[in-house]
């Protein structure tokens, strides 16, 4: 994969959900492209990820940037105070924030809507909507004050998907945040954009979002998600972490300076 060396030189980038998956891939690529990066996650393993990146000298995709600072912060972004603390820590570490990548979220359970409990529905929405909502709110005053900045939210094409209605509702909310906030932020020189990933191949999660399917019925419900995801993609496959990170980093960069209020599907032709 092509890495644009120096594309984020002089910029400070906050990446949430950066301990694994898409968030980690984005953080690694930002560092490789010269950006000062602040990794945020509620899992303590985020500090190990940051340390590994520092020890590698900011190496990702075969490119090394020895002078790029890498910071890490633990915070629970499902609470507003956690988002405020994360943004404050990023500002203290880097001195400014030029880009915010809101990546936290993910399906916890996979089953038809009538099988969800009220508590499970609320947990799904808290997990996949509020971290983006709160982090936008916490970071926005600083971006407005400096008269520039970019927010890249990570939504999902699963807004049209089986066996995850609460998650779909939450990610639909992320899309709405993106388009509505873009209108308010544009006069202040701040862009707000999003990607909508489809199914993405990733290593096994170090920290699970929720219980893995146990019964044959639960496994069948999860398999329906996999089958529908592949069938909906024109390319008939899952994407890669690199493919997701590439789209996010493009939208975060100055190359996308005339793009705002836009949600880019990255799902092999599935528009959600």
Number of independent structural domains in the chain: 1
Per-position DSSP letters for 132-176, written without gaps between them: HHHHHHHHHHHHHHHT-EEEEEE--GGGG-TT-HHHHHHHHHHHH
Residue 245 gets the label, from left (phi > 0), alpha (psi -120 to 50) or beta, of alpha
Cβ-count burial 184-201 (b if 16+ within 10 Å, e if not): ebeeeebbbbbbbbbbbe
Over the stretch 213-257, which tens digit does the pLDDT of each residue have?
889 999 999 999 999 999 999 999 999 999 999 999 999 999 999
Domain-embedded: residue 244: yes
Task: Give the CATH number, domain containing residue 228.
Answer: 3.40.50.720
Domain-embedded: residue 272: no
Of 80, 116, 167, 258, which is the active-site residue? Answer: 167
DSSP annotation of 239: B
Domain-embedded: residue 122: yes
Residue range(s) defining the domain that contains residue 179: 12-266
Domain-embedded: residue 256: yes
Q: What is the chain's Cα-based Rg?
A: 18
Domain-embedded: residue 160: yes
User: pTM here?
Assistant: 0.94
Domain-embedded: residue 99: yes
Over the stretch 166-179, which tens digit does the pLDDT of each residue have?
999 999 999 999 99
Known active-site residue 167: yes
More confident residue, 53 or 135: 135
**pLDDT at residue 61 above 50?**
no
Domain-embedded: residue 191: yes
């Amino acid at each position: 994969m092509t890495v644009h060396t120096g594309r984020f030189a002089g910029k400070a980038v906050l990446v949430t959900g950066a301990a694994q998956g898409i968030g980690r891939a984005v953080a690694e690529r930002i560092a490789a492209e010269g950006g000062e990066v602040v990794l945020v996650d509620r899992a303590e393993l985020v500090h190990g990820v940051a340390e590994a990146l520092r020890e590698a000298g900011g190496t990702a995709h075969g490119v090394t940037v020895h002078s790029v600072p890498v910071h890490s912060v633990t915070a629970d972004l499902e609470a507003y105070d956690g988002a405020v603390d994360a943004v404050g820590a990023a500002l203290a570490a880097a001195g400014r924030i030029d880009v915010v990548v809101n990546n936290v979220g993910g399906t916890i359970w996979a089953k038809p809507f009538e099988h969800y409990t009220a508590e499970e529905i609320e947990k799904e929405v808290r997990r996949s909507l509020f971290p983006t909502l709160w982090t936008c709110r916490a970071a926005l005053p600083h971006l407005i004050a400096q008269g520039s900045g970019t927010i890249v939210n990570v939504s999902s094409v699963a807004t049209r998907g089986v066996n995850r209605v609460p998650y779909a509702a939450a990610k639909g909310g992320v899309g709405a945040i993106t388009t509505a906030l873009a209108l308010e932020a544009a006069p202040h020189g701040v862009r707000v954009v999003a990607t909508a990933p489809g199914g993405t191949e990733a290593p096994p999660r170090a920290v699970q979002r929720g219980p893995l399917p146990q019964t044959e019925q639960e496994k069948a419900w999860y398999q329906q998600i996999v089958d529908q995801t592949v069938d909906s993609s024109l390319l008939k496959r899952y994407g890669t972490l690199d493919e997701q990170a590439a789209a996010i980093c493009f939208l975060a960069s100055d190359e996308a300076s005339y793009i705002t209020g836009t949600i880019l599907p990255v799902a092999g032709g599935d528009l959600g």
